[in-house]
Structure 1
Protein backbone atom coordinates (compact mmCIF):
# COMPACT_ATOMS: atom_id res chain seq x y z
CA UNK A 1 0.00 0.00 0.00
CA UNK A 2 2.85 2.36 0.84
CA UNK A 3 4.38 1.76 -2.59
CA UNK A 4 1.04 2.53 -4.23
CA UNK A 5 0.67 5.79 -2.32
CA UNK A 6 4.22 6.86 -3.14
CA UNK A 7 3.59 6.09 -6.81
CA UNK A 8 0.33 8.07 -6.75
CA UNK A 9 2.07 11.13 -5.33
CA UNK A 10 4.89 10.71 -7.84
CA UNK A 11 2.27 10.73 -10.59
CA UNK A 12 0.59 13.85 -9.21
CA UNK A 13 3.89 15.70 -9.32
CA UNK A 14 4.81 14.54 -12.83
CA UNK A 15 1.34 15.32 -14.19
CA UNK A 16 1.38 18.78 -12.63
CA UNK A 17 4.84 19.65 -13.92
CA UNK A 18 4.08 18.47 -17.46
CA UNK A 19 0.75 20.29 -17.70
CA UNK A 20 1.94 23.54 -16.14
CA UNK A 21 5.16 23.62 -18.16
CA UNK A 22 3.41 22.90 -21.46
CA UNK A 23 0.22 24.95 -21.40
CA UNK A 24 1.94 28.32 -21.99
CA UNK A 25 3.98 26.92 -24.87
CA UNK A 26 0.86 25.31 -26.36
CA UNK A 27 -1.01 28.63 -26.32
CA UNK A 28 1.81 30.54 -28.01
CA UNK A 29 2.40 27.90 -30.67
CA UNK A 30 -1.29 27.20 -31.26
CA UNK A 31 -2.29 30.84 -31.81
CA UNK A 32 0.89 32.49 -33.06
CA UNK A 33 2.65 29.61 -34.78
CA UNK A 34 5.84 30.58 -32.93
CA UNK A 35 8.12 27.91 -31.46
CA UNK A 36 9.45 29.68 -28.38
CA UNK A 37 12.79 28.05 -27.61
CA UNK A 38 13.18 30.42 -24.65
CA UNK A 39 10.10 28.96 -22.94
CA UNK A 40 12.23 27.06 -20.44
CA UNK A 41 14.08 30.24 -19.56
CA UNK A 42 10.77 32.01 -18.90
CA UNK A 43 10.07 29.24 -16.39
CA UNK A 44 13.53 29.85 -14.94
CA UNK A 45 12.84 33.59 -14.67
CA UNK A 46 9.61 32.83 -12.80
CA UNK A 47 11.50 30.63 -10.34
CA UNK A 48 14.18 33.28 -9.81
CA UNK A 49 11.59 36.02 -9.34
CA UNK A 50 9.93 33.89 -6.66
CA UNK A 51 13.24 33.32 -4.86
CA UNK A 52 14.06 37.03 -5.14
CA UNK A 53 10.71 38.05 -3.72
CA UNK A 54 10.87 35.51 -0.89
CA UNK A 55 14.49 35.87 0.22
CA UNK A 56 15.64 39.29 -1.02
CA UNK A 57 12.43 41.29 -0.53
CA UNK A 58 11.08 39.28 2.40
CA UNK A 59 7.66 38.79 0.81
CA UNK A 60 5.35 35.91 1.73
CA UNK A 61 5.56 32.95 -0.65
CA UNK A 62 2.18 33.64 -2.26
CA UNK A 63 3.08 37.29 -2.89
CA UNK A 64 6.42 36.18 -4.34
CA UNK A 65 4.62 33.86 -6.74
CA UNK A 66 2.29 36.66 -7.83
CA UNK A 67 5.35 38.85 -8.39
CA UNK A 68 6.84 36.13 -10.60
CA UNK A 69 3.71 35.94 -12.76
CA UNK A 70 3.58 39.73 -13.19
CA UNK A 71 7.30 39.96 -14.01
CA UNK A 72 7.23 37.21 -16.63
CA UNK A 73 4.02 38.53 -18.22
CA UNK A 74 5.54 42.01 -18.55
CA UNK A 75 8.82 40.58 -19.80
CA UNK A 76 7.00 38.44 -22.35
CA UNK A 77 5.07 41.45 -23.63
CA UNK A 78 8.31 43.40 -24.12
CA UNK A 79 10.02 40.45 -25.83
CA UNK A 80 7.12 40.03 -28.24
CA UNK A 81 7.07 43.73 -29.12
CA UNK A 82 10.83 44.06 -29.60
CA UNK A 83 11.86 40.67 -31.00
CA UNK A 84 9.21 38.08 -31.77
CA UNK A 85 6.85 40.27 -33.81
CA UNK A 86 9.60 40.80 -36.39
CA UNK A 87 9.69 37.06 -37.14
CA UNK A 88 6.00 36.34 -37.80
CA UNK A 89 5.55 34.04 -40.77
CA UNK A 90 9.20 32.94 -40.60
CA UNK A 91 9.31 29.89 -38.34
CA UNK A 92 13.06 29.32 -38.57
CA UNK A 93 13.79 32.97 -37.77
CA UNK A 94 11.56 32.85 -34.69
CA UNK A 95 13.39 29.74 -33.50
CA UNK A 96 16.79 31.40 -33.95
CA UNK A 97 15.68 34.57 -32.15
CA UNK A 98 14.16 32.73 -29.18
CA UNK A 99 17.14 30.36 -28.98
CA UNK A 100 19.43 33.37 -28.78
CA UNK A 101 17.20 34.87 -26.11
CA UNK A 102 17.37 31.64 -24.09
CA UNK A 103 21.17 31.73 -24.13
CA UNK A 104 21.23 35.39 -23.08
CA UNK A 105 18.81 34.74 -20.21
CA UNK A 106 20.59 31.67 -18.84
CA UNK A 107 24.07 33.19 -19.07
CA UNK A 108 22.85 36.56 -17.83
CA UNK A 109 21.25 34.96 -14.78
CA UNK A 110 24.46 33.03 -14.14
CA UNK A 111 26.43 36.29 -14.08
CA UNK A 112 23.87 38.13 -11.95
CA UNK A 113 22.92 35.46 -9.42
CA UNK A 114 25.55 32.73 -9.57
CA UNK A 115 25.10 28.99 -9.92
CA UNK A 116 22.46 28.35 -7.25
CA UNK A 117 19.88 29.98 -5.01
CA UNK A 118 18.78 29.37 -1.42
CA UNK A 119 15.90 26.94 -1.15
CA UNK A 120 12.31 27.85 -0.36
CA UNK A 121 10.48 25.79 2.28
CA UNK A 122 7.73 23.58 0.86
CA UNK A 123 4.35 24.83 2.14
CA UNK A 124 1.39 22.85 3.53
CA UNK A 125 3.40 20.27 5.47
CA UNK A 126 3.26 16.51 4.92
CA UNK A 127 0.78 13.66 5.08
CA UNK A 128 1.98 10.50 6.83
CA UNK A 129 0.65 6.97 7.12
CA UNK A 130 3.02 4.46 8.68
CA UNK A 131 6.15 4.41 6.54
CA UNK A 132 4.45 6.65 3.98
CA UNK A 133 5.21 10.37 4.03
CA UNK A 134 4.66 12.86 1.22
CA UNK A 135 4.24 16.61 0.86
CA UNK A 136 0.70 17.92 0.57
CA UNK A 137 2.11 20.54 -1.77
CA UNK A 138 2.10 17.92 -4.54
CA UNK A 139 -1.67 17.59 -4.17
CA UNK A 140 -2.04 21.38 -4.28
CA UNK A 141 0.15 21.46 -7.38
CA UNK A 142 -2.13 18.98 -9.17
CA UNK A 143 -5.21 21.01 -8.24
CA UNK A 144 -3.56 24.17 -9.57
CA UNK A 145 -2.69 22.40 -12.83
CA UNK A 146 -6.31 21.34 -13.34
CA UNK A 147 -7.45 24.82 -12.35
CA UNK A 148 -5.12 26.43 -14.89
CA UNK A 149 -6.55 24.25 -17.66
CA UNK A 150 -10.08 25.25 -16.60
CA UNK A 151 -9.18 28.96 -16.59
CA UNK A 152 -7.53 28.69 -20.02
CA UNK A 153 -10.64 26.95 -21.39
CA UNK A 154 -12.85 29.70 -19.97
CA UNK A 155 -10.51 32.36 -21.35
CA UNK A 156 -10.79 31.03 -24.90
CA UNK A 157 -14.52 30.31 -24.85
CA UNK A 158 -16.09 33.05 -22.73
CA UNK A 159 -14.04 36.22 -23.23
CA UNK A 160 -13.67 38.76 -26.00
CA UNK A 161 -9.97 37.96 -26.19
CA UNK A 162 -10.77 34.29 -26.71
CA UNK A 163 -13.19 35.05 -29.54
CA UNK A 164 -10.63 37.26 -31.27
CA UNK A 165 -7.86 34.71 -30.74
CA UNK A 166 -9.90 31.84 -32.21
CA UNK A 167 -10.88 34.02 -35.16
CA UNK A 168 -7.22 34.87 -35.75
CA UNK A 169 -6.29 31.18 -35.74
CA UNK A 170 -8.96 30.31 -38.30
CA UNK A 171 -8.38 33.18 -40.74
CA UNK A 172 -6.01 36.00 -39.90
CA UNK A 173 -6.74 38.11 -42.99
CA UNK A 174 -10.50 37.87 -42.57
CA UNK A 175 -10.15 38.73 -38.89
CA UNK A 176 -8.27 41.89 -39.79
CA UNK A 177 -10.91 42.79 -42.35
CA UNK A 178 -13.56 42.46 -39.64
CA UNK A 179 -11.69 44.81 -37.32
CA UNK A 180 -9.65 42.42 -35.17
CA UNK A 181 -6.27 43.92 -34.28
CA UNK A 182 -4.25 40.74 -34.68
CA UNK A 183 -1.04 42.37 -33.43
CA UNK A 184 -2.77 43.06 -30.12
CA UNK A 185 -4.00 39.46 -30.00
CA UNK A 186 -0.44 38.22 -30.53
CA UNK A 187 0.95 40.54 -27.84
CA UNK A 188 -1.68 39.42 -25.35
CA UNK A 189 -1.13 35.77 -26.26
CA UNK A 190 2.63 35.92 -25.76
CA UNK A 191 2.16 37.73 -22.45
CA UNK A 192 -0.34 35.09 -21.28
CA UNK A 193 1.94 32.24 -22.32
CA UNK A 194 4.86 33.93 -20.57
CA UNK A 195 2.78 34.48 -17.43
CA UNK A 196 1.89 30.78 -17.35
CA UNK A 197 5.58 29.91 -17.72
CA UNK A 198 6.33 32.25 -14.83
CA UNK A 199 3.60 30.62 -12.75
CA UNK A 200 5.17 27.24 -13.46
CA UNK A 201 8.57 28.45 -12.29
CA UNK A 202 7.02 30.01 -9.19
CA UNK A 203 5.21 26.79 -8.27
CA UNK A 204 8.31 24.68 -8.87
CA UNK A 205 10.63 26.92 -6.83
CA UNK A 206 9.86 25.16 -3.50
CA UNK A 207 10.40 21.72 -5.09
CA UNK A 208 13.50 21.99 -7.27
CA UNK A 209 16.96 23.49 -7.25
CA UNK A 210 16.71 26.93 -8.84
CA UNK A 211 19.66 27.50 -11.17
CA UNK A 212 20.36 29.20 -14.54
CA UNK A 213 20.31 25.95 -16.54
CA UNK A 214 17.03 24.56 -15.20
CA UNK A 215 15.01 25.77 -18.20
CA UNK A 216 16.34 23.22 -20.68
CA UNK A 217 14.69 20.26 -18.95
CA UNK A 218 11.28 21.91 -18.89
CA UNK A 219 11.55 23.08 -22.49
CA UNK A 220 12.01 19.48 -23.68
CA UNK A 221 9.13 18.23 -21.53
CA UNK A 222 6.90 21.04 -22.76
CA UNK A 223 7.54 20.22 -26.41
CA UNK A 224 6.88 16.54 -25.80
CA UNK A 225 3.52 17.30 -24.19
CA UNK A 226 2.49 19.74 -26.94
CA UNK A 227 3.45 17.34 -29.75
CA UNK A 228 1.72 14.35 -28.18
CA UNK A 229 -1.34 16.38 -27.19
CA UNK A 230 -2.13 17.66 -30.67
CA UNK A 231 -3.99 20.80 -31.78
CA UNK A 232 -6.31 21.30 -28.79
CA UNK A 233 -4.61 23.40 -26.13
CA UNK A 234 -6.70 22.38 -23.13
CA UNK A 235 -7.75 18.83 -23.99
CA UNK A 236 -4.43 18.02 -25.64
CA UNK A 237 -2.33 19.31 -22.76
CA UNK A 238 -4.51 17.56 -20.17
CA UNK A 239 -4.61 14.17 -21.90
CA UNK A 240 -0.96 14.29 -22.91
CA UNK A 241 0.12 15.34 -19.43
CA UNK A 242 -1.94 12.54 -17.93
CA UNK A 243 -0.52 9.87 -20.23
CA UNK A 244 3.09 10.98 -20.17
CA UNK A 245 2.94 11.72 -16.46
CA UNK A 246 1.85 8.13 -15.79
CA UNK A 247 4.64 6.76 -17.98
CA UNK A 248 7.31 8.99 -16.47
CA UNK A 249 6.19 8.47 -12.88
CA UNK A 250 5.87 4.69 -13.20
CA UNK A 251 9.20 4.08 -14.91
CA UNK A 252 11.04 6.57 -12.70
CA UNK A 253 9.59 5.00 -9.56
CA UNK A 254 10.51 1.42 -10.45
CA UNK A 255 13.79 2.18 -12.26
CA UNK A 256 15.33 5.67 -12.29
CA UNK A 257 14.84 9.14 -13.73
CA UNK A 258 17.08 8.50 -16.75
CA UNK A 259 15.07 5.45 -17.77
CA UNK A 260 11.87 7.42 -17.22
CA UNK A 261 13.05 10.11 -19.65
CA UNK A 262 14.07 7.49 -22.23
CA UNK A 263 10.72 5.70 -22.10
CA UNK A 264 8.96 9.08 -22.26
CA UNK A 265 10.70 9.86 -25.55
CA UNK A 266 9.96 6.36 -26.90
CA UNK A 267 6.25 6.82 -26.17
CA UNK A 268 6.39 10.24 -27.85
CA UNK A 269 7.93 8.77 -31.00
CA UNK A 270 5.27 6.03 -31.01
CA UNK A 271 2.43 8.55 -30.75
CA UNK A 272 3.91 10.75 -33.49
CA UNK A 273 4.36 7.72 -35.75
CA UNK A 274 0.85 6.33 -35.42
CA UNK A 275 -1.14 9.45 -34.44
CA UNK A 276 0.31 12.29 -36.48
CA UNK A 277 -2.22 14.81 -35.14
CA UNK A 278 -1.57 13.75 -31.56
CA UNK A 279 -4.04 12.41 -29.04
CA UNK A 280 -6.71 15.03 -29.66
CA UNK A 281 -6.49 14.52 -33.42
CA UNK A 282 -7.20 10.82 -32.87
CA UNK A 283 -10.05 11.61 -30.47
CA UNK A 284 -11.64 14.05 -32.93
CA UNK A 285 -11.44 11.57 -35.82
CA UNK A 286 -12.97 8.84 -33.67
CA UNK A 287 -15.77 11.19 -32.64
CA UNK A 288 -16.45 12.12 -36.27
CA UNK A 289 -16.61 8.45 -37.27
CA UNK A 290 -19.06 7.69 -34.49
CA UNK A 291 -21.20 10.67 -35.48
CA UNK A 292 -21.19 9.54 -39.13
CA UNK A 293 -22.17 6.00 -38.17
CA UNK A 294 -24.94 7.30 -35.92
CA UNK A 295 -26.33 9.42 -38.74
Structure 2
Protein backbone atom coordinates (compact mmCIF):
# COMPACT_ATOMS: atom_id res chain seq x y z
CA UNK A 1 0.00 0.00 0.00
CA UNK A 2 1.43 3.38 -1.03
CA UNK A 3 1.90 6.34 1.29
CA UNK A 4 -1.06 8.20 -0.26
CA UNK A 5 -3.29 5.17 0.18
CA UNK A 6 -2.19 4.86 3.81
CA UNK A 7 -2.91 8.54 4.46
CA UNK A 8 -6.30 8.18 2.79
CA UNK A 9 -7.08 5.15 4.94
CA UNK A 10 -5.98 6.98 8.08
CA UNK A 11 -8.20 9.97 7.27
CA UNK A 12 -11.24 7.80 6.61
CA UNK A 13 -10.75 5.74 9.76
CA UNK A 14 -10.19 8.89 11.85
CA UNK A 15 -13.45 10.38 10.57
CA UNK A 16 -15.25 7.11 11.24
CA UNK A 17 -13.97 6.87 14.82
CA UNK A 18 -14.68 10.55 15.44
CA UNK A 19 -18.27 10.17 14.25
CA UNK A 20 -18.96 7.15 16.44
CA UNK A 21 -17.29 8.56 19.57
CA UNK A 22 -18.98 11.95 19.22
CA UNK A 23 -22.43 10.43 18.69
CA UNK A 24 -22.35 7.96 21.57
CA UNK A 25 -20.86 10.50 24.01
CA UNK A 26 -23.08 13.54 23.37
CA UNK A 27 -26.15 12.38 25.30
CA UNK A 28 -24.02 11.29 28.24
CA UNK A 29 -22.14 14.61 28.21
CA UNK A 30 -25.40 16.61 28.27
CA UNK A 31 -26.80 14.73 31.27
CA UNK A 32 -23.53 14.75 33.19
CA UNK A 33 -22.61 18.32 32.31
CA UNK A 34 -25.95 19.88 33.25
CA UNK A 35 -27.19 17.57 36.00
CA UNK A 36 -23.96 16.14 37.41
CA UNK A 37 -25.41 12.62 37.09
CA UNK A 38 -23.34 9.63 36.02
CA UNK A 39 -25.83 7.70 33.93
CA UNK A 40 -24.62 4.11 34.00
CA UNK A 41 -27.61 3.09 31.86
CA UNK A 42 -26.43 5.34 29.02
CA UNK A 43 -25.56 2.33 26.87
CA UNK A 44 -29.07 0.98 27.28
CA UNK A 45 -30.58 4.25 26.01
CA UNK A 46 -28.42 3.72 22.92
CA UNK A 47 -29.69 0.13 22.85
CA UNK A 48 -33.33 1.27 22.96
CA UNK A 49 -32.70 3.69 20.11
CA UNK A 50 -30.91 1.07 18.00
CA UNK A 51 -33.54 -1.65 18.50
CA UNK A 52 -36.45 0.72 17.90
CA UNK A 53 -34.76 2.01 14.75
CA UNK A 54 -34.27 -1.54 13.49
CA UNK A 55 -37.90 -2.43 14.21
CA UNK A 56 -39.12 0.68 12.42
CA UNK A 57 -36.83 0.02 9.47
CA UNK A 58 -38.01 -3.60 9.13
CA UNK A 59 -41.61 -2.35 9.40
CA UNK A 60 -41.05 -0.30 6.24
CA UNK A 61 -40.07 3.12 7.61
CA UNK A 62 -37.36 5.08 5.78
CA UNK A 63 -34.10 4.89 7.72
CA UNK A 64 -34.10 8.57 8.75
CA UNK A 65 -37.67 8.33 10.05
CA UNK A 66 -36.82 5.11 11.89
CA UNK A 67 -33.84 6.86 13.53
CA UNK A 68 -36.11 9.71 14.64
CA UNK A 69 -38.58 7.20 16.11
CA UNK A 70 -35.70 5.47 17.88
CA UNK A 71 -34.59 8.75 19.42
CA UNK A 72 -38.13 9.51 20.56
CA UNK A 73 -38.51 6.03 22.09
CA UNK A 74 -35.27 6.46 24.03
CA UNK A 75 -36.44 9.91 25.16
CA UNK A 76 -39.73 8.53 26.48
CA UNK A 77 -37.89 5.72 28.21
CA UNK A 78 -35.51 8.25 29.76
CA UNK A 79 -38.41 10.40 30.92
CA UNK A 80 -39.98 7.39 32.66
CA UNK A 81 -36.68 6.55 34.37
CA UNK A 82 -36.23 10.17 35.46
CA UNK A 83 -39.75 10.44 36.90
CA UNK A 84 -39.65 7.08 38.69
CA UNK A 85 -36.04 7.04 39.93
CA UNK A 86 -33.69 9.89 39.09
CA UNK A 87 -35.77 12.80 40.45
CA UNK A 88 -35.58 11.26 43.92
CA UNK A 89 -31.77 11.04 43.79
CA UNK A 90 -30.65 14.53 42.74
CA UNK A 91 -27.35 15.56 44.38
CA UNK A 92 -26.73 11.95 45.44
CA UNK A 93 -24.06 10.85 42.98
CA UNK A 94 -23.30 7.34 44.25
CA UNK A 95 -26.96 6.40 44.66
CA UNK A 96 -27.70 7.62 41.14
CA UNK A 97 -24.82 5.59 39.73
CA UNK A 98 -26.03 2.43 41.48
CA UNK A 99 -29.66 3.03 40.47
CA UNK A 100 -28.83 3.57 36.79
CA UNK A 101 -26.60 0.49 36.88
CA UNK A 102 -29.61 -1.46 38.11
CA UNK A 103 -31.71 -0.03 35.27
CA UNK A 104 -28.99 -1.14 32.87
CA UNK A 105 -29.07 -4.74 34.11
CA UNK A 106 -32.87 -4.88 33.99
CA UNK A 107 -33.04 -3.55 30.43
CA UNK A 108 -30.40 -5.99 29.19
CA UNK A 109 -32.26 -8.96 30.62
CA UNK A 110 -35.65 -7.77 29.35
CA UNK A 111 -34.24 -7.32 25.84
CA UNK A 112 -32.63 -10.76 25.97
CA UNK A 113 -35.90 -12.35 27.10
CA UNK A 114 -38.00 -10.53 24.52
CA UNK A 115 -35.72 -10.63 21.46
CA UNK A 116 -33.15 -13.31 22.17
CA UNK A 117 -29.40 -13.09 21.82
CA UNK A 118 -29.41 -11.25 18.50
CA UNK A 119 -31.77 -9.02 16.54
CA UNK A 120 -32.11 -8.55 12.79
CA UNK A 121 -29.70 -5.79 11.80
CA UNK A 122 -29.93 -3.02 9.22
CA UNK A 123 -28.10 -3.18 5.93
CA UNK A 124 -25.44 -0.48 5.79
CA UNK A 125 -26.59 2.13 3.24
CA UNK A 126 -24.63 4.36 0.83
CA UNK A 127 -22.22 1.71 -0.41
CA UNK A 128 -18.46 2.19 -0.10
CA UNK A 129 -15.65 4.38 -1.36
CA UNK A 130 -12.36 2.98 -2.61
CA UNK A 131 -8.92 4.38 -3.27
CA UNK A 132 -6.34 1.92 -4.47
CA UNK A 133 -6.31 -1.08 -2.18
CA UNK A 134 -8.22 0.72 0.56
CA UNK A 135 -12.01 0.48 0.81
CA UNK A 136 -14.34 1.95 3.45
CA UNK A 137 -18.06 2.30 4.11
CA UNK A 138 -19.44 5.65 2.99
CA UNK A 139 -22.03 5.50 5.75
CA UNK A 140 -19.35 5.38 8.46
CA UNK A 141 -17.90 8.59 7.06
CA UNK A 142 -21.37 10.14 6.93
CA UNK A 143 -21.65 9.51 10.69
CA UNK A 144 -19.04 12.23 11.21
CA UNK A 145 -21.29 14.69 9.37
CA UNK A 146 -24.28 13.55 11.42
CA UNK A 147 -22.29 14.12 14.61
CA UNK A 148 -21.42 17.67 13.54
CA UNK A 149 -25.09 18.38 12.81
CA UNK A 150 -26.15 17.07 16.24
CA UNK A 151 -23.46 19.08 18.02
CA UNK A 152 -24.44 22.26 16.15
CA UNK A 153 -28.13 21.67 16.95
CA UNK A 154 -27.34 21.06 20.62
CA UNK A 155 -25.25 24.22 20.75
CA UNK A 156 -28.09 26.24 19.21
CA UNK A 157 -30.58 24.82 21.73
CA UNK A 158 -28.37 25.68 24.70
CA UNK A 159 -27.48 29.16 23.45
CA UNK A 160 -30.66 30.46 21.84
CA UNK A 161 -33.63 28.96 23.69
CA UNK A 162 -35.25 29.67 27.05
CA UNK A 163 -34.57 26.10 28.13
CA UNK A 164 -30.91 26.54 27.22
CA UNK A 165 -30.66 29.71 29.31
CA UNK A 166 -32.25 27.99 32.31
CA UNK A 167 -30.10 24.88 31.95
CA UNK A 168 -26.88 26.92 31.84
CA UNK A 169 -27.99 28.83 34.92
CA UNK A 170 -28.79 25.61 36.79
CA UNK A 171 -25.44 24.14 35.79
CA UNK A 172 -23.44 27.16 37.00
CA UNK A 173 -25.28 27.81 40.27
CA UNK A 174 -28.33 25.72 41.10
CA UNK A 175 -29.22 27.57 44.31
CA UNK A 176 -29.01 31.01 42.70
CA UNK A 177 -31.09 29.80 39.76
CA UNK A 178 -33.79 28.63 42.17
CA UNK A 179 -33.73 32.00 43.94
CA UNK A 180 -34.31 33.68 40.59
CA UNK A 181 -37.42 31.58 39.99
CA UNK A 182 -35.96 28.99 37.60
CA UNK A 183 -37.67 25.60 38.15
CA UNK A 184 -34.48 23.55 38.30
CA UNK A 185 -36.26 20.22 38.78
CA UNK A 186 -38.23 20.80 35.59
CA UNK A 187 -35.01 21.85 33.83
CA UNK A 188 -33.38 18.60 34.97
CA UNK A 189 -36.35 16.58 33.73
CA UNK A 190 -36.12 18.22 30.30
CA UNK A 191 -32.36 17.73 30.27
CA UNK A 192 -32.63 14.01 31.00
CA UNK A 193 -35.24 13.69 28.25
CA UNK A 194 -33.06 15.64 25.81
CA UNK A 195 -29.95 13.62 26.64
CA UNK A 196 -31.92 10.39 26.24
CA UNK A 197 -33.19 11.50 22.81
CA UNK A 198 -29.63 12.25 21.72
CA UNK A 199 -28.54 8.81 22.94
CA UNK A 200 -31.41 7.14 21.09
CA UNK A 201 -30.58 8.99 17.87
CA UNK A 202 -26.95 7.91 18.29
CA UNK A 203 -28.12 4.30 18.69
CA UNK A 204 -30.21 4.55 15.55
CA UNK A 205 -27.36 6.09 13.57
CA UNK A 206 -24.82 3.44 14.55
CA UNK A 207 -27.31 0.56 14.24
CA UNK A 208 -26.32 -0.23 10.61
CA UNK A 209 -22.65 -0.52 11.66
CA UNK A 210 -22.89 -2.83 14.69
CA UNK A 211 -24.41 -6.15 15.68
CA UNK A 212 -27.68 -5.67 17.54
CA UNK A 213 -27.35 -7.69 20.74
CA UNK A 214 -28.56 -7.09 24.31
CA UNK A 215 -24.97 -6.27 25.29
CA UNK A 216 -24.35 -3.63 22.62
CA UNK A 217 -24.95 -0.81 25.11
CA UNK A 218 -22.29 -2.20 27.44
CA UNK A 219 -19.87 -2.42 24.53
CA UNK A 220 -20.12 1.31 23.74
CA UNK A 221 -20.42 2.57 27.32
CA UNK A 222 -16.67 2.61 27.98
CA UNK A 223 -15.95 4.58 24.81
CA UNK A 224 -18.65 7.12 25.70
CA UNK A 225 -17.34 7.59 29.25
CA UNK A 226 -13.75 7.89 28.03
CA UNK A 227 -14.72 10.60 25.56
CA UNK A 228 -16.66 12.59 28.17
CA UNK A 229 -13.85 12.31 30.73
CA UNK A 230 -11.20 13.45 28.25
CA UNK A 231 -13.45 16.29 27.07
CA UNK A 232 -14.02 17.78 30.51
CA UNK A 233 -16.79 20.07 31.71
CA UNK A 234 -17.73 21.79 28.44
CA UNK A 235 -20.44 19.71 26.78
CA UNK A 236 -19.97 20.92 23.21
CA UNK A 237 -16.34 22.01 22.88
CA UNK A 238 -14.83 19.46 25.22
CA UNK A 239 -16.74 16.43 23.93
CA UNK A 240 -16.21 17.28 20.25
CA UNK A 241 -12.48 17.89 20.72
CA UNK A 242 -12.13 14.69 22.74
CA UNK A 243 -13.92 12.67 20.05
CA UNK A 244 -11.71 14.16 17.35
CA UNK A 245 -8.47 13.67 19.31
CA UNK A 246 -9.28 10.11 20.35
CA UNK A 247 -10.46 9.27 16.83
CA UNK A 248 -7.13 10.46 15.40
CA UNK A 249 -5.28 8.29 17.93
CA UNK A 250 -7.52 5.24 17.55
CA UNK A 251 -7.33 5.23 13.74
CA UNK A 252 -3.63 4.32 13.25
CA UNK A 253 -3.75 1.86 16.16
CA UNK A 254 -6.71 0.10 14.52
CA UNK A 255 -4.90 0.04 11.16
CA UNK A 256 -1.75 -1.48 12.67
CA UNK A 257 -3.06 -3.71 15.45
CA UNK A 258 -6.76 -4.27 14.72
CA UNK A 259 -9.84 -3.36 16.75
CA UNK A 260 -8.38 -4.50 20.08
CA UNK A 261 -5.28 -2.39 19.48
CA UNK A 262 -7.51 0.62 18.83
CA UNK A 263 -9.34 0.13 22.13
CA UNK A 264 -6.08 -0.26 24.05
CA UNK A 265 -4.71 2.92 22.46
CA UNK A 266 -7.91 4.69 23.46
CA UNK A 267 -7.65 3.65 27.11
CA UNK A 268 -3.91 4.32 27.41
CA UNK A 269 -4.33 7.78 25.88
CA UNK A 270 -7.18 8.53 28.29
CA UNK A 271 -5.10 7.58 31.33
CA UNK A 272 -2.21 9.75 30.17
CA UNK A 273 -4.42 12.73 29.33
CA UNK A 274 -6.21 12.59 32.68
CA UNK A 275 -2.82 12.52 34.38
CA UNK A 276 -1.49 15.51 32.43
CA UNK A 277 -4.79 17.41 32.01
CA UNK A 278 -7.00 16.71 35.06
CA UNK A 279 -9.64 19.15 33.77
CA UNK A 280 -9.68 17.54 30.34
CA UNK A 281 -9.45 19.33 27.03
CA UNK A 282 -11.92 21.92 28.29
CA UNK A 283 -9.26 23.16 30.68
CA UNK A 284 -6.81 23.62 27.79
CA UNK A 285 -9.35 25.61 25.77
CA UNK A 286 -10.29 27.83 28.69
Please indicate the TM-score interval, normalised by the length of the shorter structure: over 0.9
TM-superposed CA distance for 1:75, in Å, is: 1.0
TM-superposed CA distance for 1:253, in Å, is: 0.9
> Is 1:195 aligned to residue 205 of structure 2?
no
CA–CA distance in structure 2, aligned partners of residues 247 and 159 of structure 1:
36
CA–CA distance in structure 1, aligned partners of residues 138 and 254 of structure 2:
20
Q: Which residue does the alignment assign to 1:42?
A: 45
> Which region of structure 1 is more displaced relative to structure 2, 137-146 or 233-242?
137-146
Unaligned runs of 5+ in 1: 285-295
1:157 paired residue among 159, 166, 170: 159
What is the 5 A alignment of 1:271-286?
271-284=273-286
TM-superposed CA distance for 1:33, in Å, is: 0.8
1:218 paired residue among 192, 217, 220: 220
Aligned pairs, number: 283
> Which region of structure 1 is more displaced relative to structure 2, 102-111 or 275-284?
275-284
> Is 1:30 aligned to residue 33 of structure 2?
yes
TM-superposed CA distance for 1:6, in Å, is: 2.2
Q: Deviations over 1:127-158 (max 9, x none)?
A: 23343332221222111111111111111111
Give the TM-score normalised by the residue count of structure 1: 0.93
Q: Which residue does the alignment assign to 1:291?
A: none
Unaligned runs of 5+ in 2: none
Give the TM-score normalised by the residue count of structure 2: 0.96
CA RMSD of aligned residues (A): 1.1
CA–CA distance in structure 1, aligned partners of residues 97 and 138 of structure 2:
38
SS at match of 1:119: coil
Distance 1:129 1:247, change over 3 A: closer
Q: Deviations over 1:7-46 (max 9, x none)?
A: 2221111101111111110110111110000001111111
What is the 5 A alignment of 1:125-136?
125-136=127-138
